[in-house]
Structure 1
Amino acid sequence: MTSDPETLAAYGTQAQNYAAMTDSLKGDKHLAIFIAALPKGARVLDLGCGPGRAAGQMADHGLKVDALDAVPEMVAMAAVHPGVAARQGTFHDIAGTDLYDGIWANFSLLHAPRADMPGHLAALKTALKPGGLFHIGVKTGTGAARDKLGRHYTYYTQGELRGLLSAAGLAPHDSWTGRDRGLAGQMDDWVVIHAHG
């Protein structure tokens, strides 16, 4: 997760509301595709896990889940899910080599400054086992801005994101786009991309 104080404070304040919002997303097709692509017992990282909805579902399907978030309120909620090892940390705490069969970075890395994204992706590629599956979701657009809750976002075009993944040594393939209403109440365009290490 980001280390931006205003973004972290917003998530801390909105933790219960965010948990309620993500609870209604139990039919997430991208998560189902991610889980189905991994072998039973695979080790995965949920990066920016929030209240742990996705991490809990992964654990329910027999995956070994490490969950990381920089917001203590989110870590506490994620840790309640059976089989989820949740800890507090930021994107800068990603370390290790060939640790994970899959990494789920679902609308978390968009909080990092653009200049930091190549380094974060490189660290995640190193932590991913060869051939492992990487999932990333971001809001699409250009530039960077704060929403009305104070959260900092960096926006990417799909082409830009694919280029960054390739530059980090990942091989992007399937992608999906859409438009949804987020926690701040505004409609946002997004892209999800799956890539292999």
Structure 2
Amino acid sequence: MTDRDTIAVYDARAVDYSKLEPSQTPSETLAAFLNALPNGAHVLDLGCGPGTSARHMVRAGCSVVALDASAAMIELASKVDGVAARQASFDDIDGTAIYDGVWANFSLLHAPRTDMPRHLSAINTALKPGSLFHIAVKAGTGEARDSINRLYTYYTEAELTELLKAAGFTVGSYRRGRDKGLSGEDADWISVTAYA
């Protein structure tokens, strides 16, 4: 993520964001992702926010690298025992065949549409063959800012599937939902686990 206004929102609202998921147990989607990983999996939490998902990953026995463009989010994530958190953008994804899983839960939707193929290709390269990639985005078309000035790129299932396949992924089944986020607005979303 390189949009300065979006990063500024997360810097200012990091504590508020950390309260959105206070559960001590992983979501159904995260639990399924964790159950599909090998023991002691090396996982990248991309756009980790305050480290909520990373905490569940560590508790499940994973070795976790957590990246986020927001300094305030990284400050919170770095307080999670066992998480190696650092400030970085999507363009900082590198390495070849080093991760057993990449978790990009409502993070890549902040990247401009024109950058998504490059990011997905880098993620595919960083994953070990056959490994897992979870991505969740808001459903729809176009790009827009929400009421608190975060930039979003919206995707349909067909478009996201095409992008994932072009990056070398095998695409699994989709999940759909509708939730309130940090802005308080209801939004439809889609998520999918793909395989490198």
* TM-score bracket relative to the smaller structure: over 0.9
1:4 and 1:83 map into 2 onto residues whose CA distance is 29
Partner of 2:8: 9
1:194 and 1:28 map into 2 onto residues whose CA distance is 14
Count of matched residue positions in the alignment of Structure 1 and Structure 2: 196
AA in 2 matched with 1:19? S
Conserved? CA contact 2:109–2:137, under 8 Å: yes
TM-score (ref. length: structure 2): 0.98
Structure 2 residue 56 is the aligned partner of structure 1 residue 57: yes
The 5-angstrom pairing of residues 121-132 of structure 1 reads: 121-132=120-131
Once the two structures are TM-superposed, the CA of residue 48 in structure 1 deviates from its matched residue by 0.2
1:27 and 1:60 map into 2 onto residues whose CA distance is 10
SS of the residue corresponding to residue 149 of structure 1 reads coil
What's the C-alpha RMSD, in Å, of the aligned pairs? 0.9
2:83 and 2:31 map into 1 onto residues whose CA distance is 17
AA in 2 matched with 1:146? R
Conserved? CA contact 2:26–2:53, under 8 Å: no
The CA deviation string for residues 1-55 of structure 1, in whole angstroms up to 9 with x for no partner, is x011000000011111000112248441010000000011110000000000000
Unmatched runs of 5 consecutive residues or more in structure 2: none
2:75 and 2:128 map into 1 onto residues whose CA distance is 28
Structure 2 residue 117 is the aligned partner of structure 1 residue 113: no
Partner of 1:71: 70
1:85 and 1:24 map into 2 onto residues whose CA distance is 22
The 5-angstrom pairing of residues 77-92 of structure 1 reads: 77-92=76-91
TM-score (ref. length: structure 1): 0.97
Distance 1:106 1:7, change over 3 A: same
Unmatched runs of 5 consecutive residues or more in structure 1: none
SS of the residue corresponding to residue 75 of structure 1 reads helix
Once the two structures are TM-superposed, the CA of residue 142 in structure 1 deviates from its matched residue by 0.4
Partner of 1:192: 191
Calculate percent identity across the aligned residue pairs: 54
Partner of 1:99: 98
1:69 and 1:27 map into 2 onto residues whose CA distance is 20
The CA deviation string for residues 43-93 of structure 1, in whole angstroms up to 9 with x for no partner, is 000000000000011001100000000111110111111111000000010
Partner of 1:37: 36
AA in 2 matched with 1:147? D
